[in-house]
Structures are given as C-alpha cells and as structure tokens.
Chains A and B, each alone.
Chain A
Amino acid sequence: MAEIFAMPKLGMDMEEGVVAQWLKAEGDTVKKGEPLAEIETDKSCVEVESPAEGVVLKIFLAAGETAPCGTAIAVIGAAGEPIPDVTAPAAETAAPATAPTAAPAAAVNSDLFFLMPKLGMDMDEGVVSKWLKAEGDTVNKGEPIAEIETDKSVVEVEALQSGVLLKIYLPEGESAPCGDPIAAIGPAGTEVPADPKAAMAAAPAAAPAAAPAAAPAAAVNSDLFFLMPKLGMDMDEGVVSKWLKAEGDTVNKGEPIAEIETDKSVVEVESLLSGVILKIYCAEGESAPCGDPIAAIGPAGTVAPADPKAAMAAPAPAAAPAVPAAAPAAAPAKVAAAVKTGVAAKTPGGRVRVSPRAARLANQNGVDVSCIIGSGEEGRIVEQDVANYIASGAAATATAAVAAPAACRVPTETVEPINTVRKVTARRMVQSLTEAAQTNHRVDVDTTNLMNFRKQVNAKLEKDGIKVSVVDLLAMACARALIEHPMANCYMMPDGLHMHNYANIGIACDTPKGLMVPVIKDADILSITEMAQASRAVINKARKGELKPADMSGGTFTISNLGMFEIDSFTAVLNPPETCILAVSRTQDKVVVENGQMVIRPMMNLCLTYDHRVLDGAPAARFLETIKHYIENPVWLVV
C-alpha cells in the first residue's frame, strides 16, 4: 500500500514549506524514519523522515519549490506499485505537532454554555480553529468538541457537559475572550438565547439581588474571625497552603493554625484567638486578600456567619451603642492580623517615629521598632502596633535579633536616579540583545611572543616616552584581522550590509561615569607608535570624562578587556550595529602540551561574540583564528 508523503506542518504557524533538498531520489529505497527531505520553513531548515519503508515511487515537488502543508509531495511504496491519486490532500501528515490528549479543565459557570476555555495563565482569548461537532450533533461530556488555538498551541478541548450541540456562537477561525460562551449544549429542543453573554450576565444577577435584601448581614463581633494576615509590606493576598486545624478543633491563642503562602514564602501563622474552629472560609489552595476573614473561631456552639465579610462590614459599634464596652473591644482583633512591617517612619532628624510607650513595650520584648510601620499620626509607631507585631509572630525574628543584631537589619530600598550613561548603556544593551543573533566562540591564546614583542618595542620607544599596552597590540591584531574578514567588520542595516574598508576599534572603558567606548580610527593602518598614542589619547579622555561624541562614533569593532581582573573568561554584548566584539580575559600561566611536552605558557582567553545574522560559525571561527594568529605571531603586526 503506497504511503503518501505530505508537506509536513512543522510548526503552529507554518502554512507552507519549501523542499530545500531531496535526500532520496525517485527509485531510491528508504527506510521508515530515514531522512527523506530537507524542508525549509520561514524559521528553519529541517530534515524530515520518511513515514514508511519502501521505494520513493514519485516526487511531486521539485527541490526549491513550495507547497502548502498537507499537500502530497512524494509517494513511497513497493517497487512497481501504481502511484495513487494525490489530488486530494493527505489525510494524515507527518506533522509532529499533535494536540495534547488531555484537555485542560475550563471553568463553566452556566450549564447551558460552553465557554472559551482558559488554557494557560496568560491566555486571554482563543480562536476556534475547528469545531469537531456540528450543530445538532450529540456530544458527551469528555468528548472532544473543538480545537482551540492559542498564541502558543492548538489544543483539542472536551465538552464539559453532555447534550446536543444546540448552537455554535463562534465560527471557526474567529476568536473570543476566555470565559465567553462559544456554544450552547443542552437537551434537544432547548431554546438558546441569541445573545449568550447577555443571558449569562442576567442569570447570576437574579439570585444575589434577592439574598441581601432578604437577610441583611447581622452585626457580628469581629473577634470571631481569623483574618488573612499581612505577612509583608507588599503582601496583598495569601494562599492557605495548609490548615493545621480542622473545623471543630480547639485552638489556643498562639498555636499554629495554618500555613500561609505568599508569593515569597510559606509561613506558619498562629491563632490570635482561642476557641473552637467554627468554620473555615478559605479552603486549602485558595487565596484571600489580607484582612479578609478566613476562619471563624469562638466558643463551641457559636454560629459562624455564612458571609463573614458582610458580617464584619456590618457596623457593629453603631448597632450596639448601648453597650459601649463591646465596641472598642471589637476593633483590635481586626487590626491584630494586619501588622505592617517594613521600614518605620522617621522624624526629620532621622529617628524612628515611635511613641515612648511603644518604644518601652518594644524594648521589653526585644523588638526592633525600625521594622514596624506605625499606624499613628505621621506614621508614628504606637503601643498597639508593637503589640500587634509581637502577636503576629513577626517579633520572633526581632527577638532572635537581640542575639544576632545582623538579623534585625531592616531591608531598605532607595531609588537612585539613572544617569545618562547608564540609560544609554541600558537601552543599547537591550537593543543589542533583542536585535542581533549573538553567539560566541572562545579560544585560549599563547601570549609569550606578544609579551616579548611588547617588551622589546617598549624598550625601544622608552626614550620617546611612549608605552605600548597589550590592548594596543590586541587592537592592531583585531584591526588587521577585520580587514582580512570584511564580514566581521560590517554593519547589518535594513538597506543591506554596510561594508568598511577601514577598521575603527572601540575600546570599552570603565569610567567614573560608566561604560564608555572611545574609538581608535583607522586602527588597521596605524603604526605601533601611532596606535599607542591614539589609544592613550582617547582612553585618557574617557577616564577624565572628556570624550566628545566624535571620539565614540564610527567604531566597526569593539574590544572589551577585563584582563586586569581575575576573570578567566566572559562574553561581551555586541555594540550595535557592529557585528563582533572581543572579550579579553586575564593572562594566566597554564600548562599546555607542546610537542608532547607539558610546558607552562601565559595563556589569555578570548571570547568573540558575533552576530549570527551576519556571520556564520565557520567564518567567525576563521576570524578568531586570524586574531589568535596575530597575537601569537606579533611580528606580522609590523610586516
């Protein structure tokens, strides 16, 4: 039976492909799984394997030609087998992307409607790429009903209800926000609303409207509630990762009651109340905003309200003015959990704004008040703040801090203005990393000759007061290599590759203002003395912050030298629009093998970052080899 080889769909957004090369010719024998062709998409070139074993009976699509995915492009079968009709698209393609079988559960809040599922945290809308059922079809819960396309993948989703597919609201190819009704499923004959969103909006409104009117929340002593604690300054909500007590359990004040998870950590929190756990409002794994009631604790037999927030919101003090003692007593419990920690407010003199009374309580308990956000006037820490802080258990840290003062350090965060150099560097580095295809080659070079050469040259030039640095020689080596490898010396611009017949070498300098890259112009034709003088001039200007824009423009290549640091190897980020940058690390004596002997050589690590958009691996390697050659044979720099 002949097998059709169709243009595979190699990616979600691949619609067509080009046969870059056939790896088998007509009449060749091919094994299943053996590479058959190279298919080029707009992203890559991929070797595609044969779907069957046999002889390549016919190739329909010549190399270099394009076909839509799914189109038959070859037939494999037994020798002599008739070639099947391939005018119809192949039923099955070799597309590797198959939909995940398990459809993620989607929340449905209406029995009738099938909603656009939220298949990922960042999915906001989805496209129905295909309905697997038609209107009028019977569908069972769990049965695939549609293929939904997100910006990441295509997923087959299952019906969450059984019934007849009464209505499809969203045609294939159209998108809808997650949670929007896209179909109606129900008993045959059910009437479906024309505007499902309006119907859904109307449905829930009917129920709650009646409830509050019928049963206004009774005022409840808020002492009853255990609230989601605020465990950090920037904590807005928490997740109950585990209840350490169950409903009906007795709990004492100070006893661990739950594990609360913030976005930073999981913290065991203690009950601020004693009593029986009457009701747990926030199930394990669920989250609640800080300060919201998550459990009710009180004397056994107390009826916990079903809607604790409404109960808390009910104006308890106003309702019971006849019992003045009750009102103030109710208030503290609410705040007790809302302990704020962070950086305490300071007086203009820099002292923590803390009342003497609060300071005394803190002192008695070994609490560092600088960790407490005061709730008093002008952020003053009052006694209650310290009491809450101690009750919250946050003081445990502070108590420990008595023994180890370092532990009580207040984490502070100050905002410093960003200077211009930093801003420019930031923008250019991000631009560089987003726009270029950066990758690296590394090599260790032997600097024995370079060091000797430099010593000789400097001895000769000493009388003229000229000193040649290693970087000067590296710049010369690179400049010459660049002329020999013009692709490494070009800019990739929208209008084409800008080739240069000169090499301007930028030297990355660490200046008091930040990173500056002065440029040595025409480095490829400078003599050693000229190079030494030119680089000295611009580097000095850079260090003094006197560089003019002209001193920093026109570079075609950059050297970033960290040789003065104990850095063995590093990668540099391209300085756009340059194609290459060389990262130079320290020179270290290393054991190398030379003619079968272990010898000690001063080795320097070079790491070339290049833009793969412009330069492929091999030419980049050749370019780096040339640099290495110049460094190891510096005599060529003057020839």
Chain B
Amino acid sequence: MKTMMYRDAISSALAEEMRRDEKIFVMGEDVAITGGVYKATKGLLDEFGPQRVRNTPLSEWAIAGVACGAAMCGARPVAEIMHVDFIGCCFDIVLNQMSKMAYKTNGKLNVPMVLRTQGGRGKSNGCTQSQSLESLFTHIPGLKVVMPATPKDAKGLLKSAIRDNNPVIFIEHKGLYQTKGEVPEEEYLIPLGKADVKRTGKDVTIITYSKSVLTSLDAAKELEGKGIDAEVLDLRTLVPLDFEAIRESVTKTGRVVIVHESTERTGYGAEISAQIADKLFDELDAPIVRVCGANIPVPNATLPEIESAPTVEKIVKAAVRVCQGGKWNG
C-alpha cells in the first residue's frame, strides 16, 4: 500500500492501462502538456507521446465524437470533458451515438470508450462549472456510470472502465483530486457494479457515492456520539447498481438515508429510494430520507455553495430522524 492522491490514482490507472494496451489513448482539452486542469493526466505525455496523449480544441462535440468514432474503429479512447457541465455541447454523441451504437448495430460495433469528466461543488466555480449531473447519464440506457470517492476506488474502477467494451461515463469530483488514500502497490481492478461498505453499522444505512461518501463518514462519526451506529454504503458505480449490497445493508438496519450532492429533484437518490420501497418495503422501519443538493443552481459564493449541498449537520439530522423511536427513545 502507498498513500496516493486521487488525481495521481487516476493518472496511474491510465498509465498502467496504456502500458498494457496500446489501443488506449487519452484526449481532451489541455490533457497533454499541462496534464489536465486537475492534473489527472500528468506525466502521460512524457511516457506515451503526443500520439496517445492528445490535446483537443475547445470542442466537446469533437472530443466525444472523435472518441466515439475511434472506439467504433477498434481504438479504446479515454476522452476527457473538462467539466461535466459542458456535456450539453456533445450531448447527441452521448445520448444517441455512443450509448446506442451497439444496439443499433446488433453488437457489431461496440464503443469501448471512457468519457472522463468531473463535477461537483467546492471551487466556487459558479453554477455552470459546479453541477453534479450524473442522473442525466443514469437516465440514458446504454451507458455505465462510475463515481469513485477514494483514490483506491478511482484507480481500480478506471482500469475496469477502460477494459469494459461499453461506453462508460467516469465522473470524478473536483473536490476529491487532492484527497489522499491508501492504494495497493500491486495491480488490482475494482469491478463495475460493486458497491463498498465504507463503514459498517447496524442502525441506519447511509447510501451515497462520490465526495458525499466523505461527508457521510464524518456524519457517521458524529452519530456515534448519539448512540446511532451508521453504516456508510458507497455505491461507487451507479449503473450498474449493486442493489444486492443495498439489500444486505437495509435488511440489517431497516433505515435509510440517501446522500448525494446533485439536485434532489429527480436525482439518483429518487431511483434508489424507489427501488428500496419496491423491493425492501418490509425491511423498512422508517421512511427513506434523502439529503441532497438544493433544487437551485449552484451558488457562486462559498457559504451558500456549501450550504446548498449535503452537510454533516444535515446528514446527522436525517439519521436522527429515521432513528426516532425504538431504542433511542428516552
């Protein structure tokens, strides 16, 4: 094990995979010399050269379109959209081309590409560079959606995403790049569609992903003092969803708090909540409660930006609410 930053885990995954398979190449705005705005492709140019580490013009349409076409022709591109907020510029490629090609061609043309991007609050980047738009992608059949929270998960999942023969949307978080974590020194993969219990507990299941995992872990620590033993379940992959992990945890606790930074309204939490209500109704001992981003454009100013996202305080409050009664009474 060694301690590694999230952004270095990304670049190390890319490097390892590029060494393994020469069909893999990286493209995006400023990914080459600068190593990307968040330095997640740093060092790749030196090792793999400009053929495999390509800067692109400021055209998301071009980035996504070229990557999709290259993938259809046998390459395995890892294309970067600098901010997930810019996805609108290439949405037809995402919505109708990369996600549907295998279906349209009856499996003759797969699109083994990864569209790396990042989102989330934390840099006062304003309402067009701080969004969490994962539910746009989870809504589109034909895409896999991955949102790692830790360096280890980021590396293992990115390697799996690159090896997957389907288009994968890999959403990083701008607030996570500089976070550190233990990463195995030996090569490893983390399979897509496998959630991870980041903290075991028996009273309430906090279901979350991406940076909210860290907030939830902080909340769980605070809940300890209130006699509430929270389990933090990191989904890691939204599509495919590891519902078995949810089943196992909720069956144990009977109480659910869902935490994500994206807008609450029709956010991915609504999907999780609906599936739990449907499949685990009899396991529930309390209503399912969501702690999500406010239904407003992300504020620019630092405080409102933080306050419009899930906070430790809000998660604790929600957990206390669902744990009302029973053994916590009196």
Contact = CB atoms under 8 A, between A and B. Distances in A.
Interface stretch (B110-118, B209-217, B220-228, B261-269): B220-228
Contact of A385 (B228, B283, B326): B326
A544 to B, nearest CB: 54
Given A355-B285, A357-B285, A376 B224 contact: no
B172 to A, nearest CB: 32
A479 interface: no
B227 A376 contact: no
Contact of A357 (B202, B229, B254, B329): B254
A376 B289 CA distance: 14
B329 A335 contact: yes
A375 B328 CA distance: 9
B224 A383 contact: no
B285 A331 contact: no
Contacts of B229: 324-325, 328
Contact of B325 (A325, A327, A359, A374): A374
Given A317-B227, A327-B224, A328-B203, A356 B282 contact: yes
B50 interface: no
Nearest to A321: B225
A327 B227 contact: yes
B326 A384 contact: yes
A335 B203 contact: no
Nearest to B277: A356
Contacts of B282: 356-357, 359-360
A358 interface: yes
A355 B227 contact: no
A356 B284 contact: yes
Contact of A355 (B226, B286, B328): B286
**Which of B202, B228, B286, B326 neighbours the largest number of chain A CB atoms within 10 Å of its CB?**
B326
B326 A382 contact: yes
Contacts of A338: 329-330
A632 B326 CA distance: 74
A186 to B, nearest CB: 47
A248 interface: no
Interface in A341-370: 355-360
B285 A358 contact: yes
A383 B324 contact: no
Given A357-B285, A383-B254, A331 B225 contact: no
Contacts of B329: 335, 338, 375, 384
A194 interface: no
Nearest to A376: B325
- Secondary structure call for the A interface: helix
Given A327-B224, A328-B227, A335 B326 contact: yes
Contacts of B203: 328
A493 interface: no
Interface in B270-284: 281-284
B122 interface: no
A422 B321 CA distance: 46
B104 to A, nearest CB: 43
A356 B278 CA distance: 12
Nearest to A325: B229
A334 to B, nearest CB: 7
B326 A383 contact: yes
Contact of A377 (B224, B225, B281, B325): B325
**A: contact size bracket:** 20 to 34
A246 B186 CA distance: 64
Given A321-B224, A357-B254, A377 B285 contact: no
Interface in B219-256: 224-229, 254
B299 interface: no
Nearest to A379: B325
Contact of A383 (B226, B285, B287, B330): B285
B327 interface: yes
Nearest to A387: B326
Interface in A380-396: 380, 382-385
B325 A331 contact: no
A331 B329 CA distance: 9
Contacts of B322: 377
Contact of A318 (B225, B254, B283, B327): B225
A171 interface: no
Contacts of A332: 326-327
Contacts of B228: 328
Contacts of A377: 286-287, 321-322, 324-325
A291 B329 CA distance: 13
Contacts of B328: 331
A309 to B, nearest CB: 14
Given A317-B225, A355-B286, A382-B285, A376 B326 contact: yes
B51 to A, nearest CB: 54
A66 to B, nearest CB: 67
B167 to A, nearest CB: 38
Contacts of A359: 282
B289 to A, nearest CB: 10
Interface string B135-148: 00000000000000
A385 B254 CA distance: 14
Contacts of B283: 356-357
A254 B329 CA distance: 23
A328 B286 contact: no
Contacts of B202: 328
A355 B330 contact: no
A380 B325 contact: yes
Interface string B75-112: 00000000000000000000000000000000000000
A376 B323 CA distance: 8
Nearest to B330: A335
A385 B325 contact: yes
- From A355, A360, A377, A384, name the one whose CB has the most chain B CB atoms within 10 angstroms: A355
Interface of B: 202-203, 224-229, 254, 281-287, 321-322, 324-330
27 contacts: A317-B225, A317-B226, A317-B227, A327-B225, A328-B203, A328-B228, A330-B227, A331-B227, A331-B328, A335-B329, A338-B329, A355-B286, A356-B282, A357-B283, A374-B325, A376-B286, A376-B325, A377-B286, A377-B287, A377-B324, A377-B325, A380-B325, A382-B325, A383-B254, A383-B285, A384-B329, A385-B325
Interface of A: 291, 317-318, 321, 324-325, 327-328, 330-332, 334-335, 338, 355-360, 374-377, 380, 382-385
Q: Which 9 pairs show the lowest CB-CB distances between chains A and B?
A: A384-B326, A376-B325, A375-B325, A375-B329, A357-B285, A332-B327, A355-B285, A382-B325, A382-B326
